[in-house]
Structure 1
Amino acid sequence: MVNANRSMMSHDLVSELVIEQRADLLIITEPNKYLVARSGWVVDTNGDVAIMDVSGRIAWRLTSRSGGMLAVESDSTLAMCLSPNCDIHEFTRRLDIIQGVVNNARKKVIILGDFNSKAIAARSEYTNRRGEILTDMMGEISCHCVNDGTPTYEARDQS
């Protein structure tokens, strides 16, 4: 899962990387709209999340598509992805939906997304409001963050 920030170059590069790495599924938040117009991509109704079955080895089925959210599933796994492009109220609503799905799931669930949140639980130096909401939900559904603390964004040098 990567945030391409609408960049055609980033989108293309990550697409090539997952093919080289023999990944099964590619999920991009803020995808390049021209590249996801190609066949094979499933895109949410806002154009903020895109998923492609890269390998064809696993039968993934679209289970949910809405503004800022997509979910696909196989026989054993449900993968949900959340876009960061929303205000705090919509963010909370989307996490409530995810929590409901997880609570009723009968298979493994993977929650992916660019949550635009800071949380000590995700190895940030501080916790912001989105981070508090996300951490609370993670605790309620016994979810574990796999972020290793590596920054996912670096500001460009403005000098």
Structure 2
Amino acid sequence: MSTQTLYQSLLVGHLIGFLLFAGSTIASFFGFRQLWKQYAIDAGRAATVLQAMSGLQVLLRTGVGVIIPSGIGIMYLTHGVYGEQVWFRIKFALVLLVILNGIIVGRRLRVSLDKALKDDPMAVSKIRQRALRFHLVQLAGIFTIILLSVFKFN
């Protein structure tokens, strides 16, 4: 296999991983919107929506699991040439922030929401605002990553 073919294969894998990651984040955003609509009708239905959304986490983790090794492979094949460029450094920092935000804030938010739906209806409105903020940060980060990857500002 030639270096060019390997590079293109890694790039395809990187894009597929990013699509899984971004797509599951977008689906989660719309899933949460549906959850709030169902919660207004019946809290039990909201818990069902939340349970149905749990499959998105597998896609998200798979996406991250593909992004990281393919990105490392691309950097290896290009001898780190992208690492010297300003757009890439910003993109890399954003990718780390989006992933960490998902792990730290997103996971905690989901656990809090699960408990609140079962035990504490008063906490649900606070969680709703935090969930909206979380998703807006994630979506803005993803949009900026795409923007930087396409235009490659220096």
TM-score, normalisation: structure 1: 0.24
**Normalized per residue, which structure has more helix?**
2
Greater Rg by CA: 2
The structure showing larger relative contact order (alpha-carbon pairs under 8 Å, at least 6 residues apart) is: 2
**Normalized per residue, which structure has more strand?**
1
